[in-house]
Every structure is written in C-alpha cells, then in structure tokens.
Structure 1
Amino acid sequence: MTTVPVPVPLPVRSRVADLAAVQIASWQQGYLADRSAAVAALARLRRGAGRTAAEMPDLWSLVDTGPLHERDGERRALSEVELTRAEDALYTACTLWALHQQSRGARMHRTHTREQPGGLGAAVRRLMPPNDIDEPVRGRLVRAATASTPLVLAQRLRDIVVLLRRADIPLDYGLLAGQLYAWQWPGGPEAVRRDWGRSFHSRPAARHAGENTPPATAITDTASDTDLKDAS
C-alpha cells in the first residue's frame, strides 16, 4: 500500500516566515542603531547558530514564539508537531541571522524581491564570479540541500552564512524560516531543494553595491574545517 505524504500546512509556513521576518527586522534595526538591548540580543542569538533550540534554553525567553500559540480569526491552534517544527525553524533562522549580522553595518536580512532576489540559492550564486561556477561554493549549497537531519542542515547553513557574512551578501531570513519549516515535513526536503536550485539559477550572478568577494582561501579553509566537524 502506498503512503501518501502529508502536505506541508502552508498557512503555518507563512506564519513562521512572517514571525521570523518581523522579529529579525526589529533586532536588526536596533542593532544598526547601536541600541544596547539589540546588541545584547544578537550576541546571545549568534551562539545558537548551528545548534538546536533544545540545546539553547537561554534563548527561549529571547525568541518570541507567542504568536505561534495565538488562535484568532482564521488562525487555528497548532498541533504539537506543527508547533515544535515551527519553533525549531524560527530558532534556526534567528540564530543564523545573528551570526550573519555580527559586526556588519548593513542589513544582512533583506526581503526578497524580483529585482533583488533574497533566496539562499541566489545569495550563494553571488559568492561566485560572474558567468562562472565556483564548484567548492556550489558544493556548499548541495551539501546543505542533502542534509539528513535538521541539526546537520543548521550546521551546513551556518557554514554558508559565514561565507555570505564575509562578502556582505544579505539573505531573506523570513523566506528561509518558512523553508526550514517546510523541510521538516514529508516531501519537504525535495521541495526546498527545488526552491534553492530555482533561486540559484534564476538569473546570472550580479553583485550589488557594498558586497565584497571573499578570498578563495577563505572558501577553501571553511570547507576543510566543516568536512572535519560534520561527518554526517
């Protein structure tokens, strides 16, 4: 008998994406304005990058998951599975953004638009020279896309974020949070891989003002470090 995969609850994915975007935008605004509370929040959040929410209980009071529990209008109460997966996606996106934003004077969370794609694939493509494919960098995206568990996925995304941070290339973390939620459902990894691949091939590489090209040695060094610590 063939088992039909349970589809991703799209309204919940949208709630996760919207909540991540709102919280990160608020922290980002405060951080760039050098507000002490936001600076302290970023310092705490970035320690959780590449780790699960369960490993970082000190962040539970920092990331506001309250809106996920709200039930008003058309919003129904989430099941325990939905809630757990939504919280994990939110924590992962917020902590990765904090790592990305650290010591950067420009917005590292930027909303995706057609004119300025903010998806992960497009961001990785901008790490490469125009009209050329950097295989070690592309391999980063492939490794993330083929992660076997949420923890491995978070670790491999962390390595990509380090490269994006060095090059001052922003990412839409609301979009990523929604994808991280979708990834946890049956058929989700395949759907997210398609999203990232489509984003990667959406248009020729184009670097925006203020973006720096990371040195090739940085990419090589990061790759070797990750291969040693991530043996999944």
Structure 2
Amino acid sequence: MTETAPQIPAPAPPPVGGPDGHTSRGKHPGPLRQSVAARILSLQHDYHSDRPWAVQALAQLRRGIGRPANDLPDLWNLLGMEQFYAARPKGRRMDDDEALHAERAAHVAVTLWALHQQSNRAKRMHVPDGASLGTAVRRLMSGTDSDEPIRKRLIRAGTATTYEVLAQRLRELVVLLRAAEIPLDYGLLAEHLYQWQQPGGPTKVRQAWGRSFQAYRLADSPGTDPGGQAVQPATASAHASTTTAPKEQ
C-alpha cells in the first residue's frame, strides 16, 4: 500500500547559529531564511527516517529544478512559504514583486537542496550554521592548482547577469558539493537569492560570497564539516569535471 503524503505542518523555525537565534555574525535571520530552513529541516528529518512520503517529496522537488516558481502545484506546500507569509508583521502588505522575489528564492533554494540531498541518508546536506556558498565552495578545494576550475565556477555564479543564469550556475556548484558531501546553509542561500533580486543586490551577494570564500581556512576545522561529520578531502579535478545532475532515485 502506498503511503500518501500528508499535509506538512509548518514547524517552528529553529534558532540559526546559536540558542538566541542569532548567527555568529550577530545578524538575526530574516523570516524567509527561517521559513526555508525550518521546512528543509522537517523534510530532511523524515527523509533520513526513510519515510516514503518524504522520499516522494524530494523527487517532486527535484522535478522543479529549472522551472518557474509556482509552476508546479505539487510543490506549493513544500517550500515553506506559508510560514513565511504567516511571519510577516501585521499590516505589512507585500507588493507583487516582493512576493515573487521571495517565492523564487525559496523555490531555487529548496529544489537545489533536494538535488544535494538525493540518495544520501547518512549525512544532512542542509546545516543551518550560517556558512555561505563561498565557504562551502572553499571546502571543495584541495589547495592545489586543480582548484582553479572550481574557483571559476563560483566567480561565474557571482557574475550571473540574470536570475535564471544564476540558478543554473548554482545547480552546477551543488552537483560538485553533492559529490563531495559538503553541506550548505540553504536558509542563508534563500536569503541571498532574495537579496540578489533587489536593487544593488547582485553586488552585495557577490561580495558576501567572495568574503566568505577568502575568510575560510582549511586549517580552521580539519576533517570535519560544520555539523561535525567527517569530510573526505575533495579532489578538485575530479569534481570540477562533473557538470550534470545524477539520475533521480
């Protein structure tokens, strides 16, 4: 008998980066970041528990990669937007552009997480630790000349001229992170994707990714990811040649 996917409750948003809900940088996470993180943590928990409906939900999310936000009704209750809208201050009305920017950011972040998490029930690929994309990409690198193709991929993502191009280039990076089992803070990614769509946003996001890339030091946390899981050293040349997403399972 096939288990039917239930209506997913909106879990309370977890603290991000510390018990007071602040990141290590002292910035309180916004409602979109909290909502996306809470939704992914809920899905991730049930996926690791091998719940059939969660496995089905991730397959549905992967089918949304590259599709416009709200294009697939099956995804409407999987992105955390209900919680985001519920968290908005009373009397604060979002205009259509603002709402679309938030929906697009959540759509790309959650569907890319589903690709990142695919078939991996040993490790969690969303870790709400405040690590930026630049930090995750830096963890891919082995400290040799073969790192250059990976660095260039991050630069290409940072210099994308349209949101659609940005989403495609992020997908290419997520495929590399998936192969190396390096997690990412997808709540923060959603926040950056939302910011990218604002006036001056691409420059600010590019600076944030570049700063986190440069600030990270391999010696700071040898052999572990931010969730305390062992990390195998990345082979840059092998990962850099992987540009297509693996088949769904």
Structure-2-length-normalised TM-score: 0.76
Q: Could you say which structure has the higher helix fraction?
A: 1
Identify which of 201, 204, 209 aligns with 1:188. Answer: 201
**What's the offset of the Cα at 1:72?**
6.3
Structure 2 partner of 1:217 = 238
Quote the Cα distance in structure 1 between the aligned partners of 2:170 and 2:198.
18
User: Over the residues paired in the alignment, what is the CA RMSD in angstroms?
Assistant: 2.4
Is the Cα contact below 8 Å between 2:34 and 2:187 reproduced in 1?
yes
**What's the offset of the Cα at 1:203?**
2.5
Is the Cα contact below 8 Å between 1:20 and 1:90 reproduced in 2?
yes
Q: Which moved more, 1:44-53 or 1:141-150?
A: 44-53
Is the Cα contact below 8 Å between 1:20 and 1:177 reproduced in 2?
yes
Are 1:46 and 2:59 counterparts?
A: no
Structure 1 partner of 2:86 = 70
Q: Which moved more, 1:14-23 or 1:203-212?
A: 203-212
Is the Cα contact below 8 Å between 1:52 and 1:151 reproduced in 2?
no
CA offsets 1:186-208 (integer angstroms, 9 cap, x no match): 10000000110011011312542
Identify which of 67, 72, 85 aligns with 1:56. Answer: 72
Identify which of 126, 129, 146 aligns with 1:109. Answer: 126
Structure 2 partner of 1:172 = 185
Structure 2 partner of 1:119 = 132
In structure 1, the residue corresponding to 2:36 is in which secondary structure? helix
Report 1 or 2 for greater relative contact order, CA contacts < 8 Å, sequence distance ≥ 6: 1
Change (3 A) 1:198 1:74: farther
Quote the Cα distance in structure 2 between the aligned partners of 1:192 and 1:69.
24
- Count of residues in correspondence between the two structures: 209
CA offsets 1:38-61 (integer angstroms, 9 cap, x no match): 111111111222433154343234
Structure 1 partner of 2:101 = 85
**What's the offset of the Cα at 1:69?**
3.1
Quote the Cα distance in structure 1 between the aligned partners of 2:91 and 2:208.
26
**What's the offset of the Cα at 1:210?**
2.8
Are 1:199 and 2:212 counterparts?
A: yes
Structure 2 partner of 1:8 = none
Structure-1-length-normalised TM-score: 0.81
**What's the offset of the Cα at 1:103?**
1.1
Structure 2 partner of 1:97 = 113
Structure 2 partner of 1:4 = none
Change (3 A) 1:79 1:23: same
Change (3 A) 1:204 1:34: same
Quote the Cα distance in structure 1 between the aligned partners of 2:91 and 2:38.
18
Identify which of 15, 25, 32 aligns with 1:16. Answer: 32
- 5+ residue gaps, structure 2: 1-28
**What's the offset of the Cα at 1:172?**
0.2
**What's the offset of the Cα at 1:67?**
2.8
CA offsets 1:171-226 (integer angstroms, 9 cap, x no match): 0000000000000011000000011001101131254243232462341242xx79
